[in-house]
Amino acid sequence: MNLTHHFLIATPNLADSLFSGSVVYVCEHNENGAMGIIINKPSPIGMEVVFASSGNRIPERFIDHFVMMGGPVQVDRGFVVHTPIGNWQSTLSITDDTAISTSRDVIESLAKDERINKAILSIGYSSWTKGQLEREIAENAWLVAPADSHILFDTPIEEKHGAALSKLGINAVNLMNGVGYA
């Protein structure tokens, strides 16, 4: 199973407060584990802070946008999921046109040119050790859906969870906590 470029959608069985109601974009999944970014949990940090800290004005396309709480790992570090991939100092390709970068040159480019069409910034990321994600899926903590760039980059934050569920034909009101028996 390779869930790279998929969404993990938290079910009501997932009691962890950070992950409750979250949608995680899986950036890498292999035999050693998985890594992803929560795409629907905004931090209190507005994008204007990111650009101001690099000495740049915020581009109009990022006004009123927030940095996401990507997960509980390395919360002191920034991550940028973006399209197209480009040529940056520290980048992991996810698909032929989507990547995740951690280098400052990506932020500079976002501020100064249009080489990056779309981007989500996060502080921290989510990770799972070998076999952990597979166990959590088997325990009904996560639903899995193919990723969709429209949901990833263009859907408003408050609609991402419902939009990801709709890819599976599920309405959020139909999800229940627990297991039933007949």
Q: Which whole-number Å values give the CA distances from 27 to 16, 120, 160, in the listed order?
A: 21, 13, 17
- 8 Å CB contact between 91 and 151: no
42 part of a folded domain: yes
The reported pLDDT for the residue numbered 51 is 87
**Cα three-residue angle 13-80-49, rounded to 5 degrees:** 100
176 part of a folded domain: no
The reported pLDDT for the residue numbered 145 is 97
The reported pLDDT for the residue numbered 117 is 85
For 151-180, b where at least 16 C-beta lie within 10 A, e where not — what string?
A: bbbebeeeebbbbbbebeebeeeeeeeeee
19 part of a folded domain: yes
CATH code, domain carrying 125: 3.40.1740.10
What is the domain range of residue 14? 6-171
Tens-digit pLDDT string for the chain (182 aa)? 899 999 999 998 888 888 999 999 999 999 999 999 999 999 999 999 988 887 888 888 888 999 999 999 999 999 999 998 888 888 999 999 999 999 888 888 888 767 788 999 999 999 999 999 999 999 999 999 999 999 999 999 999 999 999 999 988 766 655 554 44
Task: Mark residue 29 as left, alpha or beta (left: phi above 0; alpha: psi -120 to 50; beta: remaining).
Answer: beta
Q: How many domains does the chain have?
A: 1
179 part of a folded domain: no
CA dihedral of residues 26, 123, 59, 62 (deg, nearest 10): 60
The reported pLDDT for the residue numbered 128 is 97
> Pairing relation of β-strands 42-46 and 118-129?
unpaired
Q: What is the average pLDDT score of the chain?
A: 90
**What are the tens digits of pLDDT across the range 50-82?**
888 878 888 888 889 999 999 999 999 999 999
Q: Which residues contact 38 (CB under 8 A, 6 or more apart)?
A: 18, 19, 22, 23, 24, 68, 69, 70, 71, 122, 126
* Three-state DSSP state, 173: helix
178 part of a folded domain: no
Model confidence, pTM: 0.91
- 8 Å CB contact between 48 and 118: no
Question: For the chain, what is the total number of helices (H) and then of strands (E)?
Answer: 5, 10
46 part of a folded domain: yes
The pair of three-digit structure tokens given for residue 13, joined into one six-digit string: 């069985």
The reported pLDDT for the residue numbered 17 is 84
* Three-state DSSP state, 53: helix
The pair of three-digit structure tokens given for residue 16, joined into one six-digit string: 């962890």
The reported pLDDT for the residue numbered 181 is 45
37 part of a folded domain: yes
181 part of a folded domain: no
